[in-house]
């Protein structure tokens, strides 16, 4: 299924943080090609309703948070995904970033590289900015760096936001993410914006590195432990960096860990993410449905086997998975394992004892060498 992506930016390359923002964001809106016509009609209706004769632009809404929430809710009723790169300029130390052309090429390249790697036949359309000479140079750079070695079908093009409504949508989400991450704009409204966007997020990559928000969500989160949060994030980062991708299952494992990192970083590790929500994210753009059995055995189990700490909660309203940020998160996983593993071992012990009794000790089901560890554990029950 061919994918189309439309990208735009928030912020600029200024490093004067007394006058300009702290973050630069590149945001993409990703859709299925066959949905384009319907989405353009739906977006046009939203544009007329909220922007009359003008474009959908984040800066036209600015700090009118009530109006922003109204527009977000209507846009988020449509069918698309969002992937963004959030750059903390205060942590960019190379002098090369002081040059406008180098800055924009590199920062946009972070997004393009990830999109084209994941969606090799993607058609990416970005907003024109700068003079013609610069944009021609930029287009040539993207084709050489991100498109040329990919499978046939990958495309990159420039368009004017006035004529391309999906670029306007990317602009609005880029600006909204600015109100979630930029230090000059974020505030009490930020969590609400993220909560609305959340169902559409395929990922947010933070540059120069992923960071966990090492603080409790509120005063009631008394169990928050920064050591556990840091350790779980470090293990997840290590997995993403070192995992070799050879098939779709490997991709699914990496994408799952990225999602868990996203939720821990962007949502302060506050809640478990349901199996359904995680599968829906991984399912995007695939014809074959992902089963819960595949999800649990080939993704969750294998990622845990690789050393990633994944807490799970199987009871109450907050069922699902997360990177742990407290001992309480880990105990939920251990309690679940305890409730499953111990009864299972006891059942094995019962079967073993019944058969030994029935056969006069001639048949010991656990006598085989491959069951030595299990026999040792069961003998202590």
Q: Quick check: 7 and 126 in contact, CB under 8 A?
A: yes
Global pTM reads 0.61
pLDDT at 175: 95
Helix (H, G, I), strand (E, B) or coil at 343: helix
Q: What pairing do the DSSP bridges indicate for beta strands 23-32 and 3-10?
A: antiparallel
pLDDT digits 0-9 by tens, 339-366: 888 889 889 988 988 988 888 888 988 8
pLDDT digits 0-9 by tens, 79-97: 999 988 898 988 876 655 7
Q: Tell me which CATH homologous superfamily contains domain 3-207.
A: Ribonuclease H-like superfamily/Ribonuclease H (3.30.420.10)
Residue among 42, 60, 59, 39 at smallest CA distance from 51:
60
Q: Across the beta sheet with 123-127, what order do the strands follow?
A: 155-159, 123-127, 3-10, 23-32, 81-88, 201-207
Can you list the residues of the chain whose pLDDT is less than 50? 131, 134, 149-152, 212-222
């Amino acid at each position: 299924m061919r994918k189309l992506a439309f990208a735009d930016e928030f912020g600029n390359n200024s490093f004067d943080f007394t006058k300009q923002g702290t973050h630069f964001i590149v945001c993409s809106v990703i859709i299925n090609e066959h949905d384009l016509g319907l989405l353009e009609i739906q977006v046009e209706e939203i544009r007329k309703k909220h922007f009359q004769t003008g474009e959908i632009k984040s800066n036209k809404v600015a700090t009118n948070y009530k109006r922003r929430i109204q527009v977000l809710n209507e846009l988020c009723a449509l069918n698309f995904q969002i992937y963004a790169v959030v750059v903390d300029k205060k942590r960019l130390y190379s002098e090369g970033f002081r040059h406008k052309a180098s800055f924009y090429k590199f920062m946009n390249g972070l997004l393009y590289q990830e999109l084209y790697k994941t969606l090799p036949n993607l058609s990416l359309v970005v907003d024109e900015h700068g003079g013609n000479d610069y944009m021609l140079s930029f287009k040539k750079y993207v084709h050489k760096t991100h498109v040329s070695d990919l499978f046939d079908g990958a495309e990159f093009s420039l368009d004017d936001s006035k004529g391309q409504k999906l670029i306007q949508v990317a602009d609005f989400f880029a600006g909204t993410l600015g109100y979630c991450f930029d230090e000059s704009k974020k505030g009490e409204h930020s969590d609400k914006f993220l909560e609305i966007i959340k169902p559409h997020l395929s990922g947010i990559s933070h540059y120069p590195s992923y960071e966990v928000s090492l603080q409790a969500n509120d005063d009631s989160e008394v169990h928050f432990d920064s050591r556990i949060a840091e350790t779980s994030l470090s293990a997840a980062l290590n997995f993403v960096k070192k995992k070799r991708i050879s098939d779709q299952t490997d991709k699914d494992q990496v994408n799952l860990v990225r999602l868990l990192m996203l939720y821990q970083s962007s949502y302060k590790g506050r809640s478990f993410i349901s199996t359904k929500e995680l599968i829906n994210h991984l399912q995007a753009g695939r014809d074959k449905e992902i089963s819960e059995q595949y999800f649990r055995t080939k993704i969750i189990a294998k990622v845990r086997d690789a050393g990633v700490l994944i807490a799970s909660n199987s009871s109450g309203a907050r069922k699902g998975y997360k990177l742990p940020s407290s001992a309480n998160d880990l105990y939920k996983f251990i309690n679940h394992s305890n409730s499953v593993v111990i009864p299972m071992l006891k059942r094995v012990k019962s079967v073993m004892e019944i058969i030994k009794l029935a056969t006069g000790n001639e048949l010991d089901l656990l006598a085989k060498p491959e069951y030595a560890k299990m026999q040792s554990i069961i003998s202590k029950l």
